[in-house]
Amino acid sequence: MNDDIDNGLTRRDFARTSFLAGAAALAAAHATAADLATDTLKIGLLGCGGRGSADLVRMLAGNPNVKVIALGDLFQDHLDTFRKEFETHKAEEVRSKVDIKDDHCFVGWDACERILKTDIDILMDTCTPYARPKHIEAAAAAGKHIFAEKPIAVDPAGVRCFMKAMEAHKAKGLSMLAGTQFRHDGARIETLKKIQDGAIGEIKALRSFYCGGLPFVVERDPKWSDLEYRLRNWYNYCWCSGDNIVEQAIHGIDHCNWVMGGPPESVFASGGRSWKPLTEMYGDLWDNFSCDYTYPNGVHLAQYCRHWDGCDGAGDISLTGTTGVSNGLDMSNWQGDSTIQEMVDLVNSIRGTGPHVHDGQRIAESTITAIMGRMSGYTGKRVTFKEILESDLSIVPDPLSFDMALPVGPIPVPQVKPNAALKYR
Ligand SMILES: NC(=O)c1ccc[n+]([C@@H]2O[C@H](COP(=O)([O-])OP(=O)(O)OC[C@H]3O[C@@H](n4cnc5c(N)ncnc54)[C@H](O)[C@@H]3O)[C@@H](O)[C@H]2O)c1
């Protein structure tokens, strides 16, 4: 457990100590950036999947003088397909920045450890969420700059592991960017500035939708063990993905936390599983959450997310002020791509040619915000930010091995006495 938390560190203390550490680290950050201002930045990517591919294309195409030199994954077939895709990539600005040798390709449980021993400057962690806290802890200890996809954990124990690693990482002056790309969207940045300057008056209510279809399910190959199947069908198991509110709705939640200048204090949520068959393939997730979050100033966020195929979709936010309403991006003509911009912002931070970026605190806060919504729904209880920050709940089986039995579930059912496996307090 995080010693600071044991010693009673509240989230406001965390913010303050992080700020002080950040200020002290600024000089070091500039020194690091000066060294790296002209060097070719070497990238290692861990998690050779769909998002890893999209992120790496944007990193390579978006920045001059960068190259990918190392890859890691749990599965050989994922790494091989990924490597071939990049070595033969149709875009010259991507293909020309690929320089991956055989001895820089790592497969297995120690892929993270081995990729960090190479001389990469940046680790891009685009793995499945369950593994993120330990990977980030190792990358921080190895002194690498980090890009980490969201969410950064699936449970409170994972968030605390991440937070502790990020405090030390930030103190070293290193850069860290989380894959919540809205924060790098010029339209959202410009609109928020105008809102902060009074464009819609004082914000009185927020609403966030993340309502779409089920991202994917994978049928079991009889050759696969329980664990291999869980990881290849990862979206559908809570310990792998965190459930849909943590894995997906975090984008809108993070946007609202950004607008409000920090996370909510408490949440009161409902939800359930309305259509998914009770089979191994459909796992143990719910398919809808409705959350009423309360921020410290008393303002409420109504947050809805669901995975209902064939229904109307919605993925926006709404901010209601005393003199107007905004969707958080309607006061700008910015036409850029936030997923490229985030890669440009990370490289500029490392080189010292742009603002220093360290997302550790705010992505931890947004992940806790999403987890507290999930836990309030699962248990039927009001849940506070502080409870989740301090909870021992750890849902990722440890250690993991391919020959272990991994039954699915339990599927959470709110009740007066919540399932012991899901106890958060
Ligand atoms: N920012 C966004 O808008 C956005 C969009 C899509 C996905 N994502 C995030 O990206 C992440 C990856 O999603 P994806 O759709 O690419 O999944 P994916 O299954 O396509 O890729 C994940 C990869 O990680 C590998 N992996 C799993 N455990 C590992 C371990 N212990 N060590 C090394 N490799 C391991 C898997 O084998 C797989 O190749 C998720 O966290 C997801 O939430 C973000």
Task: Determine the average pLDDT of the residues in 147-164.
Answer: 98
Q: Is the pLDDT of residue 278 over 70?
A: yes
Domains of the chain plus CATH, in order, are: 3-182+340-358 (3.40.50.720), 186-332+366-422 (3.30.360.10)
CA of 52 to the centre of ligand 1 (A): 7
CA of 73 to the centre of ligand 1 (A): 10
CA of 382 to the centre of ligand 1 (A): 31
Q: Is the pLDDT of residue 9 over 60?
A: no
Q: State which ligand 1 atom lies nearest to the alpha carbon of 51.
A: 16
- pLDDT at site 409: 83
The confidence band for 416, taking pLDDT boundaries of 50, 70 and 90, is low
242 lines ligand 1 (CB under 6 A): no
- pLDDT at site 425: 66
51 lines ligand 1 (CB under 6 A): yes
CA of 126 to the centre of ligand 1 (A): 5
State pLDDT tens for residues 340-393.
999 999 999 999 999 999 999 999 999 999 999 999 999 999 999 999 999 999
The confidence band for 326, taking pLDDT boundaries of 50, 70 and 90, is very high
CA distances from 350 to 66, 222, 368 (A): 12, 46, 27
- pLDDT at site 208: 98
127 lines ligand 1 (CB under 6 A): yes
Q: Is the pLDDT of residue 296 over 70?
A: yes
150 lines ligand 1 (CB under 6 A): yes
74 lines ligand 1 (CB under 6 A): yes
Nearest CA to ligand 1 atom 6: 51
- pLDDT at site 15: 36
- pLDDT at site 410: 84
- pLDDT at site 16: 33
**Torsion sign over Cα 325, 330, 332, 337:** positive
From 127, 130, 253, give the residue whose CB has the most ligand 1 atoms within 8 Å, as the site to mutate. Answer: 127
- pLDDT at site 22: 38
231 lines ligand 1 (CB under 6 A): yes
CA of 171 to the centre of ligand 1 (A): 28
- pLDDT at site 12: 34
Structure tokens that stand for 76 in this block: 């050989």
Task: Determine the average pLDDT of the residues in 220-224.
Answer: 97
Residue 330 or 414, more confident = 330
Segment of 18-22, 79-83, 377-381 carrying the highest mean pLDDT? 79-83
The confidence band for 56, taking pLDDT boundaries of 50, 70 and 90, is very high
72 lines ligand 1 (CB under 6 A): yes
232 lines ligand 1 (CB under 6 A): no
Task: Determine the average pLDDT of the residues in 393-404.
Answer: 95
CA of 150 to the centre of ligand 1 (A): 9
State pLDDT tens for residues 92-132.
999 999 999 999 999 999 999 999 999 999 999 999 999 99
Question: String of b and e for 61-91 (b: at least 16 CB within 10 Å)?
Answer: bbbeebebbbbbbbbeebbeebbebbeebee
Contact between residue 98 and residue 89 where contact means Cβ atoms under 8 Å apart: yes
pLDDT > 70 fraction of the chain, expressed in percent and rounded = 89
Task: Determine the average pLDDT of the residues in 75-85.
Answer: 98
- pLDDT at site 38: 72
- pLDDT at site 417: 62
Q: State which ligand 1 atom lies nearest to the alpha carbon of 47.
A: 24
